[in-house]
Copies of this chain bind each other. A is one copy, B any other.
Amino acid sequence: MLDEHGTLKLAVIPGDGIGTEVVAEGLKVLDAAGVKAETTTYDLGAKRYHATGETLPDSVLEELRGYDAILLGAVGDPSVPPGVLERDLLLRLRFELDHYVNLRPVKLFPGVTTPIAGAGPEDIDMVVVREGTEGPYAGAGGVLRRGTPHEIATQESFNTAYGVARVVRYAFAKAQARPRKKLTLVHKTNVLTYAGDLWMRTVESIAPEFPDVTVDYCHVDAASMFFVTQPSRFDVIVTDNLFGDILTDIGAAIAGGIGLAASGNVNPERTAPSMFEPVHGSAPDIAGQGKADPTATVLSVAMMLDHLGLTEAAARVERAVAADLAERAGAGTRSTSQIGDDIAKRVAG
């Protein structure tokens, strides 16, 4: 952990599309918060891929291990075959740096419009703890007789007691630290019986360590529905990589849109740097036009500060964002950098 006198060694991966634009605003706000940071920018993403064919060279991965944290914008570009940057850069970082907690708050800030009729900030305030290093994202599977009428393609989900227990225990602790102290396991135990059974038994076996946490279970289909019809059911959710991916996009939708959704890829034991990134993608259609909302990145910076132990600075950034959002309705259309400026001013002021 850093103390307030330390200098934050930060690796920055702006990536593609709007990634560069939103990361600039994140850094602006970090600076305004008075955090001393030494940043190094890495050109990973589509450009590097086209120039050298590299996605994430081993040497760069090793260098990245030396930082306190990583701030990532977004990766992905239509000019790169689909999935290459996602898998060989983004997912590889998450897996290699053992980001087993993918932390994604779903929180409706006052003043933000939700598409859910009648819902307010008191109804939408949860944290999704998404597993980040195994499950259906393991990349396992295969194909036989490709391109023939007899092709078969498989896709395998790997779930280990080790991997499930550590993320479940983290989620319990998260729930315990929140006022409602409620944890919901989301899975599909009635169909995915092997994996579901491991998740269910793991939650049951860890529950006694957290006697004050209420435990609940919900099938992923029902949970997806309740995100829309009854989001107040949820406080902390723990789930696998794929279900967490889906739920947090629904979460972004109900909490005011993908422009506000922050995330942390966290290595709780700090054996490697954690990585913070907006949930949104590189949005090539609006790239370079100053139209992207940097708020998700700024909130990701707040999560990073919190993770690093700079809780006061984290709280200041989050308060500044909240204040900015509260007055957004009257603020008119602002560019990416104007929003960054406005939040930075509030942080500094």
Contacts and interface: CB of A to CB of B under 8 A. Distances in A.
A228 B250 contact: yes
Interface string A207-232: 00000000000001110110111000
A207 to B, nearest CB: 16
Contacts of A191: 83, 86-87, 91, 136-137, 139, 242, 245
A247 to B, nearest CB: 8
A264 B228 CA distance: 24
Contacts of A136: 155, 191-192
Given A152-B160, A156-B155, A159-B153, A139 B228 contact: no
Contacts of A189: 82-83
B250 A153 contact: no
Interface residues of A, number: 65
A330 interface: no
A342 interface: no
Given A83-B193, A221-B248, 19 more contacts: A82-B190, A83-B190, A83-B196, A87-B191, A115-B116, A115-B118, A150-B161, A150-B162, A151-B161, A153-B160, A153-B195, A155-B195, A188-B245, A222-B249, A224-B246, A224-B253, A225-B253, A229-B253, A250-B250
Interface of A: 82-83, 86-87, 91, 114-118, 136-137, 139, 141-143, 145, 147-162, 165, 188-198, 201, 220-222, 224-225, 227-229, 242, 245-246, 248-250, 252-254, 257-258
